[in-house]
């Protein structure tokens, strides 16, 4: 095959990729029009999340909050509940904060202005480029992991894509590839190719529309590229939690608490749980008790829960172990079934949680309350197991 120069390779790439996308593009709900709000919501949801997972969340979210103003005016708990299960909940809070900025500054209309869009809460360079190109057809790059992978392979780029300087260089390259008048379709074509064909581990080179001049394929390096230094593994944390069953008027309910207004999983609901100090981690590392006893972990939970939260509880037996990996933390959690202490101190315990406890609001809930309160995925899994 005759070699071509770089400019010819770029022209070929842009032409063939755009034609391929217009033939095969998927029918996705956010592609029904170019409404910048719809584009914005979709791009925020698609961060760190697969398309198939996003679709039902997106449709439900848009039905509930069809306009910027509807989102801006909604109570935050409703927004979080609608986002429940997607994870990375700061995305939802930032999206709502950005919507409020659009209402306050721009009358509820997402502006056709790159600087203004980039200034919105939670909108970084990639989302700015996606909104400006897809909604307004401006020739702005939208460079995410998919795009860096595709361009690194096609042009056989060996720079580490984890470095900011590499992203800046690829953004400049991406701008030079955008066909005149087709920025939105071209940027989506790049994303589509990375998602469907030029995948991370097993790229499908034969059906690729630009395989003929892909430098990595020609060099036999398509599985080596892109080069990316590995991120630090998430920090491990051992935790012990309690499913505290109610009695009397609270029979059939359990006690949950709301997280603080800021920080990890802010304002979401959870089971009471505690971080186990390093020197005590062996109580979680040991095999769980299967004889109905609570042993060391349960005893530690009783003592520490009273000290740290004001709740006097009585663990009855081990229920299950569960874990959840955040971007920077890995929770390994042992869960016990428990009730409030019925001996001396029970009245004080009840008063403590009714007054708000030491770590936020506490509330007795039944299964029906799961429909309105937003819980992180970890606790959704635990409570589904418990209620069933």
SS3 content of the chain, % helix, strand, coil (to 5): 50, 15, 40
Q: How far apart are the first and last CA of the chain?
A: 63
Q: Catalytic pick from 43, 84, 140, 171?
A: 43
- The secondary structure of 84-106 as a DSSP string is TTS--THHHHHHHHHHHHHHHHH
Q: Report how far apart, in Å, the C-alpha atoms of 45 and of each of 3, 54, 310 are.
A: 41, 6, 38
Q: How far apart are CA 250 and CA 349, in angstroms?
A: 15
Residue in the block written with tokens 């039902």: 56
Contact call for residues 234 and 325 (beta carbons, < 8 A): yes
Establish how many alpha carbons lie within 13 A of residue 348's alpha carbon, considering only the half-sphere containing its beta carbon: 8
Return d(Cα 197, Cα 50) in angstroms, integer.
15
In whole angstroms, give the CA distance from residue 206 to residue 226: 19
- According to DSSP, the β-strands at 329-340 and 235-245 are parallel
Dihedral (CA of 44, 45, 50, 51) sign = negative
Pairing of strands 329-340, 269-270: unpaired
CB 332 within 8 A of CB 304: no
Query: How many whole angstroms separate alpha carbon 76 and alpha carbon 71?
Result: 9
Kindly report the number of other CB atoms within 10 A of residue 159's CB atom. 16
Side-chain-side CA neighbours of residue 111 (13 Å): 16
Known active-site residue 43:
yes
Are 334 and 224 a contacting pair, CB within 8 Å? Answer: no
The residues annotated with a catalytic role in the active site are 43
């Amino acid at each position: 095959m005759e070699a071509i120069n770089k400019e010819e390779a770029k022209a070929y790439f842009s032409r063939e990729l755009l034609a391929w996308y217009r033939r095969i593009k998927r029918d996705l709900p956010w592609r029904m029009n170019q409404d910048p709000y719809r584009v914005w919501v979709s791009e925020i949801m698609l961060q760190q999340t697969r398309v198939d997972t996003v679709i039902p969340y997106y449709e439900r979210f848009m039905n509930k909050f069809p306009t910027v103003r509807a989102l801006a005016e909604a109570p935050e708990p409703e927004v979080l509940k609608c986002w429940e299960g997607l994870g990375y909940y700061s995305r939802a809070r930032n999206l709502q904060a950005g919507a409020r900025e659009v209402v306050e500054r721009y009358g509820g209309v997402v502006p056709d202005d790159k600087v203004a869009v980039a200034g919105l809460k939670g909108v970084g360079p990639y989302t700015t480029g996606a909104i400006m190109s897809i909604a307004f057809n401006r020739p702005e790059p939208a460079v995410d992991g998919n795009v860096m992978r595709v361009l690194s392979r096609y042009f056989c780029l060996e720079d580490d894509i984890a470095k900011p300087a590499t992203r800046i260089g690829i953004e400049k390259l991406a701008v030079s590839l955008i066909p005149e008048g087709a920025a939105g379709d071209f940027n989506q074509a790049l994303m589509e190719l990375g998602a469907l064909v030029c995948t991370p581990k097993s790229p499908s080179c034969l059906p690729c529309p630009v395989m003929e001049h892909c430098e990595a394929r020609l060099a036999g390096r398509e599985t080596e590229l892109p080069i990316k230094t590995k991120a630090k593994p998430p920090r491990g944390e051992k935790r012990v939690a309690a499913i505290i069953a109610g009695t009397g008027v609270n029979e059939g309910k359990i006690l949950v608490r709301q997280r603080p207004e800021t920080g990890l999983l802010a304002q979401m609901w959870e089971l009471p749980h505690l971080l186990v100090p390093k020197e005590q981690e062996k109580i979680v590392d040991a095999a769980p008790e299967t004889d109905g006893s609570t042993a060391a972990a349960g005893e530690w939970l009783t003592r520490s829960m009273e000290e740290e939260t004001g709740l006097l509880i009585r663990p009855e037996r081990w229920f299950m172990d569960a874990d959840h990996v955040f971007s920077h933390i890995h929770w390994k959690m042992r869960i016990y079934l428990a009730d409030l202490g019925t001996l001396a101190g029970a009245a004080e315990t009840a008063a403590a949680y009714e007054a708000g406890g030491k770590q936020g609001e506490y509330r007795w809930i039944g299964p029906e309350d799961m429909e309105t309160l937003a819980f992180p995925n970890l606790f959704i899994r635990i409570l589904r197991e418990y209620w069933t």
